[in-house]
Structure 1
């Protein structure tokens, strides 16, 4: 990550002459790399090296991105399963009507209630109209695509991705609260707390929606970080 700052004093401290031509100091590892710099401009606009606090932020954002990728992919697969089911509903219905009675002794022996859990959901799917199932599938697919979009933005540490993730997650918090009021479970509670932490973390640390000075303060922080990276590299070169 070599960079030639416009400031002559800093540029002179980051460049050395070698037998194969000029070499520039890498802002990440500190080595001098022969050849032209990969970037030029004011020192405050230099690329930011991911280390320390920035590296921790990158780890958190990319862990969240992985979560979004996994959940988005699973939802798209579920949407595909619903499309397949809707196209072959009569075939599946005949299978259930033909084979389900043969499993009744085993179900009774295990004490499983066929009107509860996954079995109940499967049986209720047969009663859902084609039009309603289409809208349900579209909603699931749209949410899956939204999660994948969040994942792309968070993995690339893009500001728009942070906005999308914060807004989309916050929009579902009221539904999660309603779910907890209706039936408290450990899974629902953990999901709510994780999503609440995500919204708070993004809004506070990334200065979203005008918090802590908003975009102007965020840009100033990035510029200051870039300038410090260049000055630190120049000081190390002198040493």
Structure 2
């Protein structure tokens, strides 16, 4: 069915040439990788932002080193370093414990690597957003006797999201495009699928253009979702201004 898509929409000169399922699987792999990496990045970002705003130097220093290192080294270099170092450390650990050899699959490596890299960018995004929340809001929450977790989820997080969403959207789009880098570690993502299809048919440019169009479609849908989230989290502020 997917191979005949272009003929259905009136472009009979174009077709997937039998590689439609491969591209579809690659697209799904890219989406899964992006979403799971985003989840890891958000968790690391919240932890990192809290650490950088902590009054304890023992928490601030590692967080500062983390963001400085990640933002100062190219993503491709970091991906190769993290991927191969993870496997090396795991091999050393299994040997020292007498366990059987464990190989990290490319998908898990991709999620961990991208999540670790973009966690640094989310750290700065969340740190700036947390600083934008009026201090009096947190003080009022303390006065009402709310616990630390209640203060965060009921007071800080909803207000923080209004300031963080532009940065979150930008980081998400960059993360989505960065998934193309995982093809170098053997993951069958959209780029790898397009390359395989192009080499098999000697039409590499054609299939890479198709991959670019798929990425454009995903980013367009992402922008729609982000705009709706922005309206949701800014609803209270708009009403207050009216």
TM-score for both structures, normalised by structure 2: 0.34
Structure label with greater radius of gyration: 1
When you count helix as a share of all residues, which structure comes out higher?
2
When you count strand as a share of all residues, which structure comes out higher?
1
